Amino acid sequence: MGVAKYMFSKVAKALSSKKIYLSKSLSYRNEPLKLNTNFDHIRMATLELCYDEIIRNNVKGNISEIGVYKGNFAKRLNSLFSDRDFYLFDTFSGFDSKDSNKEMSNGYSTADQNFSDTSVKAVLAKMPFVKKCIVKQGYFPDTTVDINDSFCFVSIDADLYNPILEGLKYFYPRLEKGGYIFIHDFNNDEYKGAKDAVLEYCVNNNIAYVPIPDSGGTVVINKPLAPKT
């Protein structure tokens, strides 16, 4: 083994003990990634591949995120889906006590993370295509009442059982065939309600899901395309 290869294997081994893995991605695909970022490569690359499928399959519909916080994932969604309306759902003041109480009584999580240090203004200032953004501030799902739309991509990143289950109940029926839903925290031991909510909805409704090894333990749902006639 050459010195460089030996050093690489040493560094890779040391990093893997910290759950950081050095491995090739999309080796046989010539096209460079549009979202070329070190922010959670696996989630970003999976998002981009799903985006490519949405475009290739001519899937109609708009996009949404429940759980925007400071807009770190939202700005990437807005940049990729630049021609789609983007509904951003958040209280912008953190968890609601209705949801936190349920978390604690079910032993899902302590629900004590503070997500109140953000604002609609600060989030919108980050958006590359701000005119496509429709902010729905307040308690989800109450903030859905005046919407009549369909979706090709939805990110559910609300951490807790209640808003995740409500998110699936609201968005899955409104997801276009060929559309995708990413649900963060499915494999996060700090927020056990996420997995329960996804399993409850998917098992009861006969929906398949694929967990991915990104940093947040995301799970991906895809609504099958209609067969070509």
- Interacting residues toward ligand SAM by CB under 6 A: 67-70, 72-73, 89-91, 94-96, 99, 115, 139-140, 157-160, 163
CB closer to ligand SAM out of 159 and 178: 159
Residue nearest to ligand SAM according to CB distances in the complex: 67
The least CB distance from residue 26 to ligand SAM, in Å, is 23
The least CB distance from residue 180 to ligand SAM, in Å, is 16
The least CB distance from residue 7 to ligand SAM, in Å, is 34
- In this structure, are residues 193 and 103 in contact, taking their beta carbons and an 8 Å threshold? yes
Tell me which residue of 150, 122, 25, 132 sits closest to 78, measured CA to CA.
Answer: 132
- Residues in Cβ contact with 198 at an 8 Å cutoff, skipping those fewer than 6 apart: 164, 168, 183, 186, 209, 219
CB closer to ligand SAM out of 90 and 176: 90
SS3 175: strand
For residue 154, what is the enclosing H or E element?
A: strand 151-156
How wide is the angle at C-alpha 76 spanned by C-alphas 136 and 49, nearest 5°?
115
CB closer to ligand SAM out of 69 and 180: 69
The least CB distance from residue 224 to ligand SAM, in Å, is 26
CB closer to ligand SAM out of 100 and 222: 100
